[in-house]
Structure 1
Amino acid sequence: MIRLHHCHQTRSMRSLWLLYELGVDFELLVYPFDKTLREEPYRSLNPTGRVPTLEIDGFVIHESGAIAEYLCERFPDGGLGRDPGDDDRAAWLDWIHFAETISQHTAALTQQHVALYEDHMRSPIVMQLEAKRLAKTLGKVEAGLVGDYLLSSFSAADIGVGQAVYMAGHFVELARFPRLSDWFDRLQARPAYRKALPGGPGLYAQDLYPPWPLDT
């Protein structure tokens, strides 16, 4: 039994996308991004009140990077992992976990732009700093792309980083990074990616939340 606990436009999208790419049977439970995550019965599965949570093989896994590693090892025929000894193994692991580096800045910007409802609660300085830090992470992806994908062929690394870039695109203009933009266009054309997108409204009310100027 595989069961994914998911909220639209959060890190759990990368786990959902990966499951769709692997083509395995699973149950999907979708939650609103609100206090429901901090209440029973979900709280017993994940006391932090966050997503994703994956139930599989009698285990409960909370971290998206660990979920990616486990699923790729559990379903090796999907070809989305890289085995120990593979030339791409170290780079695959690095990209899988670099997705979280991108996401930490996106999360900070989401809090400032979306979760804090009143302008007086927000910090223009934090917005500027986090947007610049986020852009630096995208610069690493830009520099790392030497072919069509992050590695020699499409893998879970593209899924993890691709989902993080999807979120980052709400705060930084991706057109500033031409190789990244071409790569992301290829990812967006994948049926599994489109299937993992929210079917209705998500967290964001607009496509781009530009950082506030520091002189406001």
Structure 2
Amino acid sequence: MLTLFHAPMSRSTRIVTLLEELGAREAVQVKTVSVQRRDGGGGPDPENPHPEKKVPVLDHDGTIITESIAIAIHLCTLFPDAELMPAAGTPEHGKALQWLAWNAGVVEPVLVAKLTGDDNPAFRSAFRGWDEVMMRLESALDTSPWLLGSKFSVADLIVHSSFSWMPDLLPDHAGIQDWNSRMMARPAAQKTFAEDQEAMAAIAGA
């Protein structure tokens, strides 16, 4: 049995969207839990099996899996027919892993630094700066519609996920803006966003 623990409007939203893209929504139970919000709302949920009470969390037959990238790769492996992850052992698979690792190891720390105004030289040396992050995206999307070339993949979903909440951070670059528009228009993204909005409204009214 597969159970995804999800908090609306959080990092787990991208995993719910991934389930939609994989055609696996009916195969995975999505259980809503509360988390501590930046605005002080919410709080740890005793039903959340994550060791730090964060999301996403995937329970696969009693084995608890955390971290978005691990969960995304695992789900793409379990539901290969959607072909969102290239086959293992191919160069394209390695390229997809590169983008996923880059998002977790570079984009998210650099994004937090940008939002908090942290401009520590040691941090930039270790993780790179915002300009380098945008240059990497620009280079990839200058000549291709998707990060892996001509086909949408899990790499696009994960790398775009932070910008789905903050599209104004993206530069006025034709390839990036076109990519963002197409990502926002995908039916899976729109469905998940609408569900999250409805869930947040219900929480606010409770």
CA shift for structure 1 position 69 = 0.9
Cα distance in 2 for partners of 1:75, 1:139 equals 33
1:54/1:60 contact within 8 Å kept:
yes
Counterpart of 1:142 in structure 2 is 138
CA shift for structure 1 position 139 = 2.4
The one-character-per-residue Cα deviations of 1:116-145 (angstroms, maximum 9, x if unpaired) are xxxxxxxxx427999x93343132112112
CA shift for structure 1 position 95 = 0.8
1:139/1:177 contact within 8 Å kept:
no
What amino acid maps onto 2:137 in structure 1? V
CA shift for structure 1 position 67 = 0.7
Counterpart of 2:182 in structure 1 is 186
Counterpart of 1:199 in structure 2 is 197
Counterpart of 2:111 in structure 1 is 106
Cα RMSD of the aligned pairs, angstroms, is 2.7
Cα distance in 2 for partners of 1:189, 1:128 equals 36
Cα distance in 1 for partners of 2:114, 2:44 equals 22
Q: Secondary structure at the match of 1:126?
A: coil
1:103/1:168 contact within 8 Å kept:
no
1:139–1:57 Cα change, 3 Å: farther
Cα distance in 1 for partners of 2:65, 2:57 equals 6
Indicate the percent of aligned positions where both proteins have the same amino acid.
28
1:142/1:177 contact within 8 Å kept:
yes
What amino acid maps onto 2:14 in structure 1? R
Task: Report matched runs for 1:110-129 at 5 Å.
Answer: 112=116, 125-126=117-118
Greater RCO (CA < 8 Å, at least 6 residues apart): 1
What amino acid maps onto 2:78 in structure 1? R
Cα distance in 2 for partners of 1:29, 1:107 equals 27
Given the alignment, which residue of 153, 156, 159 partners 1:158? 156
Cα distance in 1 for partners of 2:107, 2:51 equals 24
Q: Secondary structure at the match of 2:55?
A: coil
Unaligned residue ranges in structure 1 (runs of 5+): 113-124, 203-216
Q: Secondary structure at the match of 2:8?
A: coil
Structure 1-normalised TM-score? 0.73
1:201–1:102 Cα change, 3 Å: farther
What amino acid maps onto 2:152 in structure 1? F
Cα distance in 2 for partners of 1:175, 1:56 equals 39
Task: Report matched runs for 1:4-19 at 5 Å.
Answer: 4-19=4-19
CA shift for structure 1 position 93 = 0.3
1:4–1:13 Cα change, 3 Å: same
Cα distance in 2 for partners of 1:37, 1:139 equals 37
The one-character-per-residue Cα deviations of 1:45-73 (angstroms, maximum 9, x if unpaired) are 11112111011243211011111111111
Q: Secondary structure at the match of 1:88?
A: helix
What amino acid maps onto 1:8 in structure 2? P
1:72–1:201 Cα change, 3 Å: closer
1:138/1:165 contact within 8 Å kept:
no
Cα distance in 2 for partners of 1:200, 1:138 equals 32
